[in-house]
Structure 1
Amino acid sequence: MLSLNPWFDQENTIRGFQYMFRLAEFKGSDKGLLVNGEVKIVAQVDVLEVIGTLDVPPEKPKSIDINGFQVPSSQVESVNSLFEKYPGFASKVCLKNPHLRNKYLNDVLCLNEILCKSPEELSNGDLAGAYSALQCVTKAGFKLDWLEKKLKETGVTRLQEIEQELKDLKIKCADMDALLDFLR
C-alpha cells in the first residue's frame, strides 16, 4: 500500500507531487495496483482545524420579477430605470431560458454603465468589448438603439483623440528629424 504523509499549512503551501509512483510500479503485477484493468485508490485526510464556514450554503439573494426578468434586489432600481426610459427595449427578447434572459439583461446593465463613463475613462479594449457585447444582446432580441448611438459617439470621440495624438507625434517626429539634420 502506498502511504503519503504530506503536511499542508500556512507555512507549507506547496501542493502536489512530481509523481506518486512510477508507471512500472503501477503496471507491475506484484504491486497489486492494477487489478483486472481497474485501479482503486484510497486516501485518508486528517483535518486538524476548520477555519470559516465552508459547509454553510450562501444565502440566495432575493430576486424580483420585472417584466419577466428575475432581478436581484441590488439591480431593481437600475432595471426599473431602463424600462422607464426605454419601455420596449426587451419586448422582442425570445429567450425561454430564464438564466440566459437574466444574463443578457445583466449584460445590458453593464453596457449601460460602461457607456455612461467619459470616453477618456474607456480603453480601446473596453470599446471593442462593448461593441461585441452589444452585438450579442441585440441578436438575443434587445432593442438598444440608444446604446448603439452612445457607443458610436464614444468611438468617434476616441478616434478624434487618437488622431490628435497622432498629429502631435508627427510634429514631434518632424522636430526630431529637423534636429538630427541640424546636428549632422
Structure 2
Amino acid sequence: MIISLVLLIIFKWLDQETTSWGFPEMITLTELNAKEGFLVNDELIIVAKVDVLEVVGKLDVSEESSPVNETIYVKGFQVLPSQVESVNRLFEKHQDIASKFRPKNPFLKTAYMSLLLSLTQVLCQSPQKISEDDLAEQYAALAYLTDAGFELGWLEKKLDEVKEKKSKEEACLARLQEMEEQLKPLKQKCSVVEADMDKEKVELLAARAPVSLYDDDVV
C-alpha cells in the first residue's frame, strides 16, 4: 500500500498592515503589541531554550557529558553561574542601572543582560583589537539597551573613551607610516655611504700596510 502525503507550504508576511495573515498556532500581532507583550521599540528578541535529552554519537563529546548549565537569579535577572560575579559587580558600582528597565519576560531579560555583559567585555579589550565595525556595533548595542530602560550613561562615556583611543591609535599609525616613508630614501642613502666607507676602509688598510723589501719587482 502506498500512502501519499501532500504538503502545502505557504509564505506570508505578518506585519501591521496585514494583521489577518498568520496562523492561529502562532502568537498574534495583538499579543506582541500588548503593553506587557514582547515588542520593545518595535523589535523582538527570540530566545530559544534547548534541553539536551540524549547525546547521539561520541564525536568531540567526553564520556561523561557535562550537565546543562543551570541559571541563577541575580538582581532579578536569570544568568549563568559564570556571569554572577560580573552582574554583581555591575550592580555594586551602578545601583540604578536597571531601575527603569521595562521588559518583564525572564528570557527577554536574560538576553538583554547577556548583551550588556558582552558589551562590557568588548570594552575591556585593547583598542588595537577593536575595529571600526566593532565600535559601530557597540554603539548600536548601547542604544538598544538604553531604549530598553538601562541607565548606561557611564558606559557611553567609556565607549567614547575607547573611540577616542582608537582615533589616536589610527593617527599614530598614520604618522609612523609617513615617517617610515620619509626614512626609506635616507636608509638607502645610508646604505650607499656605508658601502663607500667599507671600500675606503679596504684602501686604508692597504695604504697602511708596510712596504716589502723582497718583492719580485725589486732588484
* TM > 0.5 fold call: yes
Could you say which residue in structure 2 is the equivalent of 1:159? 167
Q: CA 1:120/1:38 → structure 2, altered by over 3 Å: closer, same or farther?
A: closer
1:52 aligns with 2:52: no
1:69 maps to which residue? 77
Residue 97 of structure 1 aligns to which amino acid in structure 2? Answer: N
Q: Distance in 2 between matches of 1:93 and 1:150?
A: 21
Q: For 1:156, what is the secondary structure of its paired residue?
A: helix
Q: Name the structure 1 match of 2:123.
A: 115
Post-superposition CA distance 1:107-157 (Å, at most 9, x none): 111111111122223222222221111111111111112211111001011
Rate the CA distance shift 1:172–1:70 in 2: closer, same or farther, 3 A: same
| Alpha-carbon distance in structure 2 between the residues aligned to 1:67 and 1:125 | 32
Is the 1:119–1:157 contact (alpha carbons within 8 Å) kept by the matching residues of 2? yes
Distance in 1 between the 2:6 and 2:129 partners?
58
Task: Look at both structures and tell me which one has the larger radius of gyration over its CA atoms.
Answer: 2
Q: Determine the C-alpha separation between the residues in 2 that align with 1:68 and 1:108.
A: 15
Taking only aligned residues, the RMSD between alpha carbons, in angstroms, comes to 3.4
Question: How has the CA–CA distance of structure 1 residues 165 and 81 changed in structure 2, closer, same or farther, with 3 Å as cutoff?
Answer: same
- Measure how far apart 1:171 and its partner are: 4.6
- Report the number of matched residues: 135
Q: In structure 2, list runs of 5 or more residues that go unmatched.
A: 8-55, 186-219
Kept in 2, the 8 Å contact 1:115–1:147? The answer is: no
Structure 1 length normalisation: TM-score? 0.61
Q: Which of 93, 96, 102 is the aligned partner of 1:88? A: 96
Aligned equivalent of 1:99, options 100, 104, 107:
107
SS at match of 1:51: coil
1:134 to 142, 149, 164: 142
2-structure distance, mates of 1:80, 1:93: 17
Matched, 1:168 2:185: no
Partner SS, residue 111 of structure 1: helix
- Tell me how far apart the structure 2 counterparts of residues 98 and 38 of structure 1 sit (CA, whole Å): 40
Distance 1:121 1:173 in 2: 25
Contact preservation (8 Å) 1:69, 1:102: yes
- CA displacement, residues 24-59 of structure 1 (integer Å, 9 cap, x when unaligned): xxxxxxxx99x7x947xxxxxxxxxx63399xx984
- 5+ residue gaps, structure 1, are 1-31, 40-49, 178-184
Post-superposition CA distance 1:39-96 (Å, at most 9, x none): 7xxxxxxxxxx63399xx9844222211211112121111111111111101111012
In the alignment, residue 51 of structure 1 is paired with which amino acid?
G
The 1:67/1:161 distance shift into structure 2, 3 A limit, reads same
TM-score (norm 2): 0.52
CA distance in 2, matches of 1:142, 1:151: 15
2:179 and 2:79 map into 1 onto residues whose CA distance is 53
SS at match of 2:58: coil
